[in-house]
Structure 1
């Protein structure tokens, strides 16, 4: 199918981690293939335009944008006549991925989330986890949700705490909760070969099979493993029994990692479908997190951006806002903009040689502080000097001060399916804001413009028409305005149309 451009049209969607390269306009040449989803993040067979059109595919498909038009398979659904980007989103969402009931715990959004990965990597232990938690509380940070990451278990598929490194898991969880934490732990759909879990899963026939009918060995970032076939009810039950045993120790929920389409075999129900089934499984838990998913728009899942570099560029902090905006436009509003400072742990492993950029770490926190979820892993008190650590805690105070507004935006997302974090074009169509992807609306009234370039103490903010309140003053919109940062947090303006009477 060939679709002609509408004058001044821009397209968004598909894969969340493609946000840094969006929107796509008539002068761009871009091809996006979602069969399978080869990205390390969320993807949906859904593209939408600033002129009120959308494309939807029942499965993954390839779409090409060039100067001549948009090319996609004939069986893709073209919806049109919805006027604006918001109109296209609402029409496509209601017809193709209506939202599931909201079941996520408010703790994921109210308090910071902490993850043990950067500090401990594969060397997770009961003592190290408790020391990390004590460091959080001891340095005056609010306890929230604590995720114990990869390395805690006996092996993949045998989801018991390692008996040597975790001598008393229930006692550890009890102590963490006494400090004020909710507890989540890392799991994945893999099974370590030649383990007891592998033999048990093989005898039950619940491992995904390759072309020869034998259990498929998937090569992923931690080597080779078998993969559970979640299209089989017994596989779900087998995994579920292990999660229930963990919950009996006091664990509240799980970080469901992996599940990337590319780690599944082509045989069976298909790579993308296995990824979707893995995401579907997590909805039963009020504490969950996903990094990779397929066609999970509208699911009650907290979904994080993929690991970003500790850098100022498009592979680091520059991608956080545009990728989060595309997350929202593809039905994933309950989002987290990666770990503060970047989730690529190799950057932190080399920090003794290269050093870390404290300003970058602080700007990442500034960007995340008005997002639905803010998540730390690298210990801020270790990375930052005393003055910058004080500023980071001020950012968390600002986040707390806007808790009511964030809760309202989350409630609206759950009720209507609309994004929490919105592109300017979504909220203010027809004002030339299609390509503004470095600031966002949080809900209906708050414009958030973080400083994301090194050395910035202020920035140009694109203000739609109307009156805006900033720092106790009214500003007339309708163009770009340079604003100095007045607090440790991002520049935040409140839309006051028709007048500043509050």
Structure 2
């Protein structure tokens, strides 16, 4: 039974805007991570948590939380008094922090991804042009990510010569400009290719059961063909240690040959591992997704978009691609703070202005205010990532507003780095929901603001207009404009186009 006033969170990051869960909500985690991170954990505002270690289905129905289809034993713990204690108790027991960090450049400077500017036309000339434009337009160099379609086909781990005449020289130039360089990779292998035939012969991919549920791995001979967003491919079977060795060997080849610094590990969603396929070791689709996460532990410069479990590990988790819309901008705060509630503290919001390239197609003009507010929303999250070039799509004044957001981040970077290092030790979220930071004070449904650590309340504009309602908990708060407000209070603030609203707790 759900206790009086008790509210529940957890499961999938991409569902966070629907949290706390309402009557009628249902989610089956088996083979479905909702295109982002998921964890078999539920936590409540009354300090309870439910953990399974394996996927399960849950439904909220008439004041009951119903768990069904659990693939493993359940742990139900009632030792805590609030959401914060429920999280800490679960984390301590099931996904403790490892005291390790990803590459700190991912936090200390903005990131830049070539996706929205180049989409599938990744090429040496335009990547260098983009990198130089970053600097020429007054943005600090940081990590730059080369996105999909840099190879002749999936599984071929060399740059395609028709678009990259000298990829090693390109990466060296990017280093000289002050960037570290990441490269997009996935677990997919184009099947009708030299590499595709090689990995199939070595049995490094998932196999098709061909309708025979009794068929064993040793008997299987036909690779499973997976439908994903960019075609049909084989997929690596990382339950096979030889596949893991082969894949890491290819990644290390890319680092050694082209001087790369790390990788953006895309895909890996549980849905790409059909339950009726045959793998070296029989596991759930979710476990295949987790094994994809294990690859990144060898590369401090990493980023993931899909994950199962792996909380407390030094892996960067990015929110799922968001559309260029106000509706999706409003999801950033609940999604990012819920990632923290599931043990993912090294989190990146989606690309500024949106990373779902379909929502850019056919647009003569972007919503400039949306791009600015998106940059402000990301500025004091653990990371901020650009893709669409602000200098290309914004007016002079709006570009100045985005650069001001970057400057605000620079001002708070020492504090962010302090929080990130603490998170590596304690597992405590860097970005915290209001309910987490101020338990049982009526903030469970507040999604338009968050706490950066324990002292900074960040309230970006995430809707059109310039009027923001802010909920200040008990204490004495100083705004970015220097005004002092005594909480608890609900206030309305007029927010200028270039302003990011921040309140600092100066006295509890």
TM superposition score category, shorter chain reference: over 0.9
1:10 aligned residue: 7
- The C-alpha deviation readout for 1:154-199, integer Å capped at 9, x for no partner, is 2111111002211111100011111111000000000001111111
- The C-alpha deviation readout for 1:186-222, integer Å capped at 9, x for no partner, is 0000000111111110121111112133211100001
1:46: Cα distance to partner?
0.4
Counting only pairs closer than 5 Å after superposition, residues 420-439 of structure 1 correspond to structure 2 as 420-439=430-449
Q: Of 61, 64, 67, which aligns to 1:66? A: 61
User: Are residue 116 (structure 1) and residue 125 (structure 2) matched?
Assistant: no
> Is the CA contact (8 Å cut-off) linking 2:13 and 2:335 kept in structure 1?
yes
- The C-alpha deviation readout for 1:301-352, integer Å capped at 9, x for no partner, is 1111001111111xx1111111111111011111111000011101222222
Aligned equivalents of 1:204, 1:278: Cα separation in 2: 19
Unmatched runs of 5 consecutive residues or more in structure 2? 211-219
1:486: Cα distance to partner?
6.2
What's the secondary structure of 1:480's corresponding residue? strand
Aligned equivalents of 1:346, 1:154: Cα separation in 2: 23
Counting only pairs closer than 5 Å after superposition, residues 312-331 of structure 1 correspond to structure 2 as 312-313=326-327, 316-331=328-343
Counting only pairs closer than 5 Å after superposition, residues 162-181 of structure 1 correspond to structure 2 as 162-181=160-179
1:443: Cα distance to partner?
0.6
What's the secondary structure of 1:162's corresponding residue? coil
Q: Of 217, 220, 229, which aligns to 2:228? A: 220
Using the size of structure 1 for normalisation, the TM-score is: 0.95
1:350 aligned residue: 362
1:108: Cα distance to partner?
0.3
Aligned equivalents of 2:433, 2:101: Cα separation in 1: 26
2:323 aligned residue: 309
Aligned equivalents of 2:394, 2:425: Cα separation in 1: 39
Aligned equivalents of 1:485, 1:359: Cα separation in 2: 13
1:270: Cα distance to partner?
2.5
Aligned equivalents of 2:264, 2:367: Cα separation in 1: 28
1:262 aligned residue: 271
Q: Of 93, 107, 118, which aligns to 1:95? A: 93
1:23 aligned residue: 20
User: Are residue 279 (structure 1) and residue 293 (structure 2) matched?
Assistant: yes
Unmatched runs of 5 consecutive residues or more in structure 1? none
Of the structure 1 ranges 357-366 and 403-412, higher mean CA displacement relative to structure 2 is found in: 403-412
User: Are residue 381 (structure 1) and residue 391 (structure 2) matched?
Assistant: yes
1:467 aligned residue: 476
Aligned equivalents of 1:424, 1:380: Cα separation in 2: 31
> Is the CA contact (8 Å cut-off) linking 1:279 and 1:293 kept in structure 2?
yes
1:336 aligned residue: 348
1:142: Cα distance to partner?
0.8
What's the secondary structure of 1:364's corresponding residue? helix
1:38: Cα distance to partner?
4.3
> Is the CA contact (8 Å cut-off) linking 1:439 and 1:448 kept in structure 2?
yes
Aligned equivalents of 2:326, 2:423: Cα separation in 1: 30
Q: Of 246, 260, 270, which aligns to 1:238? A: 246
Paired residue total: 488
Aligned equivalents of 1:488, 1:76: Cα separation in 2: 49
- The C-alpha deviation readout for 1:260-293, integer Å capped at 9, x for no partner, is 1101121432211110000111111110000011
Aligned equivalents of 1:227, 1:462: Cα separation in 2: 47
2:214 aligned residue: none
> Is the CA contact (8 Å cut-off) linking 2:33 and 2:306 kept in structure 1?
no
> Is the CA contact (8 Å cut-off) linking 1:209 and 1:265 kept in structure 2?
no
CA RMSD of aligned residues (A): 1.3
1:405: Cα distance to partner?
1.2
Of the structure 1 ranges 77-86 and 45-54, higher mean CA displacement relative to structure 2 is found in: 77-86
Aligned equivalents of 1:209, 1:184: Cα separation in 2: 30
What's the secondary structure of 2:157's corresponding residue? strand
- The C-alpha deviation readout for 1:346-388, integer Å capped at 9, x for no partner, is 1222222xx2100011111110000111001111001101110
